[in-house]
């Protein structure tokens, strides 16, 4: 073997070692990623899309011009990426107590806006549709899948019922409810330390008002309101052991007691009715005899 051949082998060896070490670092990072528990149903945010810039992409790309993605579409993708990660960052801390609508509606509005621009079929500069190049070029359809997951979440939360049109703000009904909720919770906080019977007595009107407001609201409520009421009811009845007829139980009791009395009312009324009939049957004769008697008496007197 020539000395040059030995050189080559050595260089190969070194390259292999380097590759191995790099690879090892990579896997250790990956396994660190995997420790995070994946929540079912939700997409894993692809850290490479969000964290890394597009540098590796442009280094890798070696396709001819006409298969290449335009800078315009890359720009749209970058905006989408930013807004997606912002929205997710807002959502996760808003999971408990649920405030996903009230805290993150503007983030969803922005994300929707960015997605609309990608998915619309309007042409960008250069007569190119980013929908085709970003969303329809592969079977993964990452942008589409990521967005529809967020859309599902938004729809499942009924957030539209808390938010004014065009994502301007929280609507009046919800704001009003939240104000009342704050009052009730403040009352709970105030009397929490002492005797719970005190709490039950003093916060009763506030709690009752909140319940009435809740049942007077529209049938479909966003998850923020629904969860707040649920938690307040649990606090009231489980944690503080206060018993109070909820808004719904009063009519229930009224109706059921009415039902209970129905047979009695029925028998009573039929009894009275038959008595009346009897009287009617007997009356004419008596009347006759009575009136004749009167006549006789009249004549006599
Ligand atoms: C989407 O397109 C409209 C009109 O072309 C533009 O005003 C808006 O800023 C764009 N939004 C994003 C997120 O690029
Ligand atoms: C875009 O396409 C239209 C016709 O579809 C053509 O008239 C126009 O010149 C094209 N513009 C560019 C920048 O290629
Ligand atoms: C909601 O509240 C705002 C300001 O408090 C008021 O201007 C607006 O008229 C209200 N809208 C409705 C539908 O009550
Ligand atoms: C109620 O609202 C006030 C002011 O908006 C706030 O300081 C307070 O912490 C709230 N109370 C609760 C229990 O959320
Ligand atoms: C605490 O509650 C009990 C009934 O559970 C009551 O008899 C007692 O008077 C209360 N104590 C105070 C200091 O309010
Ligand atoms: C209310 O809370 C209970 C207990 O935390 C939970 O199981 C239930 O799903 C909640 N209901 C709603 C409508 O969120
Ligand atoms: C609530 O009442 C139940 C039984 O009525 C009792 O077992 C429980 O300890 C009470 N909890 C509190 C916080 O007073």
DSSP string computed for 243-289: ----TTHHHHHHHHHHHHHHHHHHHHHHHHHHHHHHHHHHHHHHHHH
What residues contact 198, with CB distance under 8 A and at least 6 apart? 191
For 179-195, what is the mean pLDDT?
A: 89
d(CA 184, ligand 5 centre) in Å: 22
Identify which has the larger pLDDT, 5 or 222.
Answer: 222
C-alpha dist (Å) from residue 158 to 92, 121, 149: 17, 28, 15
d(CA 171, ligand 3 centre) in Å: 8
Lowest model confidence (mean pLDDT) among 99-113, 119-133, 172-186 = 119-133
Closest ligand to the CA of 174: 3
Cβ of 186 less than 6 Å from ligand 4 = yes
d(CA 205, ligand 7 centre) in Å: 22
Domain boundaries, the chain: 67-162, 172-239
Reference 91, options 82, 101, 79, 77; nearest CA is 101
Reference 167, options 152, 178, 154, 156; nearest CA is 154
pLDDT tens, 270-282? 878 787 766 665 5
Ligand 2 atom 1: the closest Cα is on which residue?
127
Q: Which of 75, 117, 119, 143 to mutate to test the pocket of ligand 1 (most atoms within 8 A of CB)?
A: 117
* pLDDT the model gives residue 139: 86
User: What distance lies between CA 180 and its chain's CA centroid?
Assistant: 20
Cβ of 114 less than 6 Å from ligand 1 = yes
Lowest model confidence (mean pLDDT) among 18-22, 120-124, 172-176, 191-195 = 18-22
Ligand 7 atom 8: the closest Cα is on which residue?
241
Residues with CB under 6 A from ligand 2: 126-127
Reference 236, options 266, 265, 208, 194; nearest CA is 208
pLDDT bin (cut points 50, 70, 90) of residue 298 is low
DSSP state of 170: B
Q: Quote the CA–CA distance of 192 and 169 in Å, as a whole number.
A: 33
* pLDDT the model gives residue 184: 93
Give the position, in ligand 7's atom list, of the atom nearest the Cα of 196. 14
Closest ligand to the CA of 242: 7
Beta-carbon count within 10 A of 204 CB: 14
* pLDDT the model gives residue 128: 75
d(CA 161, ligand 6 centre) in Å: 19
Reference 219, options 267, 161, 146; nearest CA is 161
Closest ligand to the CA of 172: 3
pLDDT tens, 32-64? 344 344 444 444 444 444 444 455 555 565 666
Give the position, in ligand 4's atom list, of the atom nearest the Cα of 185. 13
Ligand 7 atom 3: the closest Cα is on which residue?
241
d(CA 197, ligand 6 centre) in Å: 25
Closest ligand to the CA of 199: 5
Ligand 5 atom 12: the closest Cα is on which residue?
195
Closest ligand to the CA of 238: 7
Give the position, in ligand 2's atom list, of the atom nearest the Cα of 123. 1
Identify which has the larger pLDDT, 300 or 228.
Answer: 228
d(CA 231, ligand 7 centre) in Å: 18
pLDDT tens, 56-107? 555 565 666 666 778 888 899 999 999 999 999 999 999 999 999 999 999 9
Q: Alpha helices, DSSP H only, in 192-239?
A: 196-202, 204-216, 223-234
pLDDT bin (cut points 50, 70, 90) of residue 249 is low
The pTM of this model reads: 0.64
**% the chain with pLDDT above 70:** 63
């Amino acid at each position: 073997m020539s000395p040059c051949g030995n050189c080559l082998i050595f260089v190969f060896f070194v390259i292999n070692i380097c590759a191995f070490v790099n690879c090892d670092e990579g896997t250790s990072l990956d396994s660190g990623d995997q420790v995070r528990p994946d929540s079912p149903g939700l997409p894993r945010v692809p850290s490479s899309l969000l964290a890394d810039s597009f540098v590796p992409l442009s280094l890798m790309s070696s396709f001819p011009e006409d298969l290449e993605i335009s800078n315009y579409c890359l720009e749209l993708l970058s905006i989408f990426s930013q807004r997606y990660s912002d929205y997710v960052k807002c959502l996760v801390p808003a999971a408990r107590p649920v405030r996903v609508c009230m805290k993150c509606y503007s983030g969803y509005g922005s994300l929707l806006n960015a997605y609309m621009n990608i998915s619309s079929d309007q042409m960008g500069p250069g007569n190119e549709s980013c929908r085709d190049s970003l969303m329809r070029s592969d079977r993964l359809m990452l942008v589409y899948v990521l967005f529809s997951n967020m859309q599902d979440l938004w729809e499942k939360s009924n957030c539209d019922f808390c938010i004014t049109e065009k994502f301007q703000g929280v609507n009046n009904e919800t704001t009003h409810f939240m104000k009342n909720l704050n009052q009730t919770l403040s009352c709970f906080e105030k009397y929490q330390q002492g005797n719970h019977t005190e709490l039950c007595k003093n916060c009763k009107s506030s709690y009752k008002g909140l319940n009435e407001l809740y049942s007077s609201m529209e049938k479909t409520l966003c998850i923020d309101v629904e969860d707040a009421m649920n938690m307040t009811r649990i606090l009231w009845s489980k944690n503080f052991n206060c018993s109070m007829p909820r808004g719904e139980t009063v009519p229930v009791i009224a109706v059921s007691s009415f039902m209970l009395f129905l047979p009695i009312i029925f028998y009573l009324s039929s009894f009275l009715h038959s008595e009346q009939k009897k009287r009617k049957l007997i009356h004419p004769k008596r009347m006759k005899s009575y009136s004749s008697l009167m006549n006789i008496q009249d004549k006599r007197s």
